[in-house]
Amino acid sequence: MPLEDRDPVRQRGQRVNGEVSGTPGLGGTGDPPLRDTPAPDGSGTEAMAEGRDPGPALGDRDVSAGGAPQQAGQHEEALMTELSELVQKVVKSSSWWERHGVDIGILACSFLLLPAGFLCLRSAQAIPFLVGVLTLGVVHHTLTVKGSHLASHNALTESKSWGKVWAIFFIELCSAFTAEQGTYNHVKIHHGYTNVIGLGDSSTWKLPFLNRYVYMFIAPLAVPIITPLVALDLLRNVEWKVALRTLCCMFLGLYCHYWLLLHVSGFQSPWSTLLCMLLTRSLLAHPYIHVNIFQHIGLPMFAADRKPKRIHLMSLGVLNLPRNALLDWSFGHSLISCHVEHHLFPSLSDNMCLKIKPIVSQYLKQKKLPYNEDTYASRLRLFLQRYEELMVHAPPITELVGIQ
């Protein structure tokens, strides 16, 4: 949604088509904590507490006209507390099926579709073969994106021990990534410092040496290759026992996929098998990359020492896309149409984020807070038109003034 003049937002620069542009506030867009900061023990599955600022109070002060930052901060905390109480009532009145069962059922159905997918690939006819590719591709992204995301937030279970098991299974075995570093980078950094420059500003998704068309339409095909390579690099930041476990899980997951294609689907050569693995694992890589940049980049970014309180940070810096049956199933509501709700209450499952969506949207609009929504096609056009500004140059810094 455009930032209108009445919104308490001041940009260091200009606004073009309702988005932020201007002189970069920092010299670079690197994200050093994502690679250089080791994940603390036990961080792999610890979910953020609902309604609380998930990150350390790193310069967490409010900038208010009239010299009353403390009063402004108290007002924002009161808003977050009130919204949390409304959401908590819904959560407490929901059944286990609503809190966890619906999403577990989707993941279970995906597992049950695996045999059909591998068997369809045995066919010499084009249509059954394509059905097999589509089935395995959707199942792969459901397990690796939806499953890994829910597991990283411990949203599949109320047990921390089982949460860690699911995180290892979905992130390491299915996704060929590292659970500790992946969860730390996503939960502690991205959620703790959403749209804070140099921390959770989504700059790790930027590849400024690629032009817009290569990045948006060709580079996503390399995601299945890049993912385990990045994981291997991140393993330098964990202890050797964790690294060994991760390597074993990654190898087991990749080898099982390879073995099933050879012995169940009937592929004859290693190269055709590897090509099919790449095809199925990159089937939805394009929307995966697009969604990750559409929902944060181009929205207000903040300096670490002047970031607003949680409710303003998430309402300004997060965007919802419309519902889409395929992406809702394979990525989950919290990554598509309920991303604002997910950032405000990250420990809730996809189904619960969908359930609280009317409450959150109505509350933010009643309090005159932003509730950003846009279509996939609109964001795609925006990024193609302003690729250098959004994906190459450092983002402008947003300052909040006059919060009442």
User: Is the pLDDT score of 228 beyond 70?
Assistant: yes
Query: Band of the pLDDT at 5, cuts 50, 70, 90?
Result: very low
Q: Rounded to whole angstroms, how far apart are CA atoms 172 and 250?
A: 6
Share of the chain above pLDDT 70, in %: 80
Query: Band of the pLDDT at 246, cuts 50, 70, 90?
Result: very high
The pLDDT assigned to 203 comes to 87
Full-model pTM: 0.82
The pLDDT assigned to 75 comes to 75
User: Is the pLDDT score of 201 beyond 70?
Assistant: yes
HSE-CB for 265 with a 13 A CA cutoff: 30
- In angstroms, the Cα distances linking 328 to 18, 36, 249, 291, 306 are 27, 33, 27, 12, 35
Reading the block at residue 181, the tokens are 């570093």
Structure-model confidence comparison of residues 310 and 120, the more confident one:
120
Cα–Cα nearest to 50, from 387, 356, 374: 356
Torsions phi, psi for 337 (to 5 deg): -95, -5
The pLDDT assigned to 30 comes to 34
Q: For residues 206-220, give the mean pLDDT.
A: 95
The pLDDT assigned to 38 comes to 40
The pLDDT assigned to 27 comes to 33
CB 29 within 8 Å of CB 394: yes
Name the residue type at position 309.
K
Residues β-bridged to residue 320: 373
Pairing mode of beta strands 372-373, 319-320: parallel
Q: For residues 182-204, give the mean pLDDT.
A: 92
Q: For residues 131-140, give the mean pLDDT.
A: 98
User: Is the pLDDT score of 92 beyond 50?
Assistant: yes
Structure-model confidence comparison of residues 69 and 132, the more confident one:
132
Q: What is the mean pLDDT of the chain?
A: 84
CB 37 within 8 Å of CB 400: no
The pLDDT assigned to 400 comes to 59
Pairing mode of beta strands 372-373, 14-16: unpaired
Q: Rounded to whole angstroms, how far apart are CA atoms 357 and 332?
A: 14
User: Is the pLDDT score of 170 beyond 80?
Assistant: yes
Q: For residues 16-23, give the mean pLDDT.
A: 33
Q: Which of 28-37, 104-113, 190-199 has the highest mean pLDDT?
A: 104-113
Query: Band of the pLDDT at 314, cuts 50, 70, 90?
Result: very high
HSE-CB for 396 with a 13 A CA cutoff: 19
Lowest model confidence (mean pLDDT) among 4-18, 87-101, 273-287:
4-18
Q: For residues 124-138, give the mean pLDDT.
A: 97
Query: Band of the pLDDT at 28, cuts 50, 70, 90?
Result: very low
The pLDDT assigned to 69 comes to 56
Query: Band of the pLDDT at 12, cuts 50, 70, 90?
Result: very low
| Residue in the block written with tokens 């096609």 | 377
Cα–Cα nearest to 239, from 4, 44, 10: 44
